[in-house]
Structure 1
């Protein structure tokens, strides 16, 4: 009989809650003044133009200020120096401008004329032209390469420094500098994230993006809901967050390594737009447009319209990619406390790359008498190579603020998808005969849909010196899909001299008799979760629990997951933390138990993590150092006594260290540094695997494939001074990945590699005022054109991206 996993958490939670509420109720009046006190900062800002003064104010206080550019004109700030609160400093700074400050949040404020209308018109925030919304909010694009707040770990807008868990954010500026075409490419400079395909510049609309976190495949989420068919091209996003470690307590089923949460672009109060045309090698051509602004004078109805189209080839012959995608947003601010946003998306890929065919290890990673396989080699057949995808999505976000301490939020989504894929698949390699066997696979008439909803109520209260931020919510997820597929034999192909147009759709129909296998899939999940974020002085405690009910066919599970974390934020910006969290993932199969066949329990992950976060005072920066010990239990393996059945005794362990530093070092100088050490291996298993020589060995203690022990990266972007090169920015990046095992038996390795990226951007308007807003950009990944290969077995490997060159001409207004 299993012990109730929630008992320790509930007991601890009730103890903490009663110990804080009881004395707090007795002393509420005595601490009323203390509750309104503000932290002090040291300021040193000389008199100067208001726009540059507010940039220094942001760096020294962490508070972003929006102000009306027309009202400010050429206003100059008053010099301030000394230790004071952020509100006092802003009041003194703007004393001679005729503008009065109003704080709209813990890290945001506005400047406006007294008794002026609410409508501000064009605004600037912290010296940057942007929208009125706080760029450093949990849903904003960040500032430079730095984001200081997130909602992924807690579903609340929480400072990262007081979040006892590893969260890594890719800001909008970082995506603009990298110009990634895929989510995998956008995450290249993120610790703990590994792309297994090596070719992560190839787009994928898959639910699982081709990345792993801490050794486990990542689920992707969009706006806090599982990514069924949402358009996840980086151009449609404001930010990407890698939430590391078990996260089921807020999201339900998920792998223990972590998840990727993306935030779609939202309408803006300021009218703005951009249009870009792009071009690159491998025949890449692309067009993008992004329009946003108010639809009425009162700015209560806002819109955003985004579209893109791309066509390109690849370094592999006969692999092409075409895509059309669009997104439309409408936001209605019903009143000051209520708003609703509707987002619709459509995407169509008439042609995409073939995921089932690769290259063999012999001739690419391993020397072969047949010689080296060219990077461009395609072992499929263009006459039997069809891959297409069509996606629809409608999302609604509702927010209502009953009081400043009581809020209600709902996010709901419906999406649908249809796709088809027919191609040849890699098979066994016979080096002596110089051939690779193949089979034909066709997945036709596949379609699916999903409905999701998460709704929660948040409530903030103080009990004496202790503050609580409560969150109670419900989740629903229903997924349905149906597809027909078939397999057929196909002729082998010569490794050195492949012939094309040898296998057609007629051959496939003849081999299968026109028959296919049809299957339906249905999954549902209901969940209820609670969370209390407790703050006492400089200590922050997070307690959370979740009960799920989920079903897959006739299977049914009721997993309970929980999370507890604590951290201490010191005056100098250092914040040590500890976290323990759990996850679950349903699995199919049959387990032999006491003479009966029963369904297996879900995969159960648990992790403890200890780390240190740091924000350098008076500098836009964020740094994290984390050590974690992660285990996934109930892994299905062969039953040692009844090999024809499975047993849930397997375990995979992952231990590692992650180091991350993001900093806007000076005006126009942004930096990213990352390092990862990770060891992920089979700690309990009865499974065996074959070595490259054919010997059968136990997989106990073997490392997982394509998981490097060490990885490091660094990226620097520098905006040159106007006196030297007006409007010119340059960037440079380096990525290192250690060697990794290329098969389950750990009998041969993928080599380590180092790649270099670079780029430049020029704003022509800083030289020629008549073309203000015109921008030219050029990016190169792997500009040294290093050749490297990554294998997952002897029969399935991919060459990594060769040099990719991409340029854009854009106009912003």
Structure 2
């Protein structure tokens, strides 16, 4: 095993542990070149914040400038530098994406103003449908691709605002070993290890295993979150066939749930003064989450010749969870007595997803065509009980804990079997060197069987629809083009309302136009777009009853987005994004909602991150920093109060010497006192942002 191979392997593992090709290269003995000079040479390939192509927009590896829809890619380097602990944090630098409650410990995300929890994908397959209890693990990813707007034509029934596709880390062709330990504010600590490389001498079989243990404590009282993540993978190659097997085990233990606190005493007036930032309205040792998830899947690709390729992806997921939390029932007139209730959710979820497609490439005359035809399915069984209970009120200024809960009584108790089938066709044609045209269609069928154990009733529901997408990109000069597109979406709403009536499917249409660039050899990549999405049959939280939903009429989101990733020099990289979102309720069964904005969706978002690499002694130092501005948001629907805007800054210091790495990440650098979001459960509470948090890590790899 040569050191040069190890350096290449470390580059392949950049998003997880020691993204340190420069360090490994510095160990190569070359009498003509000093260690520092070799590290400076490698500066060119570190700090990349963009990608030339992605698979999420077309299910083929297509240059982004040829896709007539907005797509953002979160690169391995950006994940590595920012070191996020949640999928939401990993998406901070993507326009159009907003956090609507991840502070609770779940992935609560909206894209272009609409909920995206049902549209989180892993390696092209839906993670699961309709549950955000299990946070994704960003440190186990090579990159994240975000398709803005409806993605139904290729990915089937899902979020109408966009698709989040996570790409897992894979086995490497060269040996890899790296590890890191980290400690930080509030008693947080973490250990990582990443091992991979060829298993056989001929390189036909290779493997990899990523493992993480994290103890994440919090500034909020009584909260501690522990996670074990293990992701083994194997890859076998023979001729034109590649088979990759991907597994993952997630074990979460969360002591203490954070349900937020009333806005009165945070930023709204309260005669009793300010509520302490660390206040928890739950009970010590009572609120908790217990989550176990196992995943096993595969990706099979066979290349017949230079025209035809067959691909199939499959995955089975089993999730067993038990969540118990205390929520706000409203603040009394005295401004200090908070009524409380208990919510309990034990759930067993089993899902199998499969996607099979055939791709053909043809060229004649001035036309270059890529055609795909495919079918996918998702089979999911959900066994859930949702129960409520009572508990005594709490003085949020002088809390006295230790009150005993009343017995729980079930509100929902059901077994649901979902079957989703889809058949899709897509054709991409490049006409000459300037014009690219995409057209696609899909037919979806969804079936659900629901057994209500409370009423002993059985319900069946079947929905079907055809969706369509068409668009084009015209490059006025090489690397700069205009695009327009039209896309439809179909999203059956499994489940029932509070009166046990099945929900109608959601539907949406999007019109989008914009400008894309890929200039100066990839140094300047931008995407600027305007769009309008109209969404019908929207599901929102039932006011005051976490876990229940009601179906409203119509919402419309329209806005402007801009993303840019620029390499100002071989050492200096910048990524920036701006979002303007105007989303309103246009029709509703409740007339009080009409004209209002959905909860926690800001009108303006600004994100910035930059890093600069310079020699320092025998090693190299990366200095990074940036921040985000989040505009004002509504706290309830119907709108009753406005959450203030805020600015948060983050920073990075990363020193690499030979095989060692020392890094420091600081979040909320100036300790801003801000509100992250309103509670997505529908209660009148807000979730406070994290105070100044510092994490220091030491890593080693060869």
Partner SS for 1:501: coil
> CA separation in 1, counterparts of 2:431 and 2:483?
15
Q: Name the count of aligned residue pairs.
A: 643
Please list, as runs of the form range in 1=range in 2, the aligned pairs for 1:110-259 lying within 5 A after superposition. 144-197=48-101, 199=103, 203-204=105-106, 209-218=107-116, 219-228=119-128, 232-259=136-163
1:743 Cα deviation after fit = 2.0
- Report the equivalent of 2:361: 460
Q: Deviations over 1:28-59 (max 9, x none)?
A: xxxxxxxxxxxxxxxxxxxxxxx9xxxxxxxx
- Report the equivalent of 1:374: 276
User: Is the 8 Å Cα contact of residues 152 and 490 (structure 2) preserved in structure 1?
Assistant: yes
1:404 Cα deviation after fit = 1.4
Please list, as runs of the form range in 1=range in 2, the aligned pairs for 1:518-537 lying within 5 A after superposition. 518-537=413-432
The answer to whether the aligner puts 1:735 opposite 2:628 as a matched pair is yes
1:802 Cα deviation after fit = 1.1
The answer to whether the aligner puts 1:492 opposite 2:393 as a matched pair is yes
> CA separation in 1, counterparts of 2:235 and 2:63?
26
The answer to whether the aligner puts 1:579 opposite 2:485 as a matched pair is yes
Partner SS for 1:569: strand
- Report the equivalent of 2:439: 543
Cα gap change, 1:169 to 1:198, in 2 (>3 Å): same
Please list, as runs of the form range in 1=range in 2, the aligned pairs for 1:547-562 lying within 5 A after superposition. 547-553=443-449, 554-562=460-468
Q: Deviations over 1:531-552 (max 9, x none)?
A: 0001111110001100011112
Cα gap change, 1:230 to 1:684, in 2 (>3 Å): closer
Partner SS for 2:304: strand
Q: Deviations over 1:712-747 (max 9, x none)?
A: 11111100145x784111001021111122222333
Partner SS for 1:382: coil
1:571 Cα deviation after fit = 3.3
> CA separation in 2, counterparts of 1:737 and 1:174?
20
Partner SS for 1:235: helix
Partner SS for 1:232: coil
Cα gap change, 1:288 to 1:455, in 2 (>3 Å): same
- Report the equivalent of 1:46: none
> CA separation in 1, counterparts of 2:539 and 2:340?
29
Cα gap change, 1:654 to 1:170, in 2 (>3 Å): same
- Report the equivalent of 2:10: none
Match of 1:343 among 246, 265, 273: 246
Partner SS for 1:502: coil
- Report the equivalent of 1:415: 317
- Report the equivalent of 2:471: 565
Q: CA RMSD in A?
A: 2.9
Structure 1: 4+ residue segments shifted above 6 A: 72-76, 646-649
- Report the equivalent of 1:774: 660
> CA separation in 2, counterparts of 1:462 and 1:498?
72
1:500 Cα deviation after fit = 1.5
1:579 Cα deviation after fit = 0.9
Structure number with higher relative contact order (C-alpha < 8 Å, ≥ 6 residues apart): 2
Cα gap change, 1:728 to 1:512, in 2 (>3 Å): closer
The answer to whether the aligner puts 1:757 opposite 2:643 as a matched pair is no
Cα gap change, 1:433 to 1:352, in 2 (>3 Å): closer
> CA separation in 2, counterparts of 1:524 and 1:75?
64
Partner SS for 1:746: coil
User: Is the 8 Å Cα contact of residues 635 and 684 (structure 2) preserved in structure 1?
Assistant: no
User: Is the 8 Å Cα contact of residues 231 and 346 (structure 1) preserved in structure 2?
Assistant: no
The answer to whether the aligner puts 1:683 opposite 2:586 as a matched pair is yes
> CA separation in 2, counterparts of 1:281 and 1:649?
43
Please list, as runs of the form range in 1=range in 2, the aligned pairs for 1:298-447 lying within 5 A after superposition. 298-333=202-237, 335-351=238-254, 353-354=256-257, 357-432=259-334, 434-444=336-346, 446-447=347-348
> CA separation in 2, counterparts of 1:381 and 1:353?
8
Q: Deviations over 1:449-502 (max 9, x none)?
A: 101100100000123211210100010100002123421221111121111222
User: Is the 8 Å Cα contact of residues 781 and 804 (structure 1) preserved in structure 2?
Assistant: yes
User: Is the 8 Å Cα contact of residues 181 and 203 (structure 1) preserved in structure 2?
Assistant: no
Cα gap change, 1:512 to 1:599, in 2 (>3 Å): closer
Match of 1:483 among 384, 387, 396: 384
Match of 1:277 among 168, 181, 202: 181
- Report the equivalent of 1:745: 638
> CA separation in 2, counterparts of 1:298 and 1:230?
39
> CA separation in 2, counterparts of 1:353 and 1:452?
33
Q: Deviations over 1:129-160 (max 9, x none)?
A: 99xxxx9xxxxxx9711211000011000000
Cα gap change, 1:232 to 1:613, in 2 (>3 Å): same
Cα gap change, 1:231 to 1:621, in 2 (>3 Å): same
User: Is the 8 Å Cα contact of residues 453 and 476 (structure 1) preserved in structure 2?
Assistant: yes
TM-score (structure 2 length as normaliser): 0.87
> CA separation in 2, counterparts of 1:573 and 1:330?
37
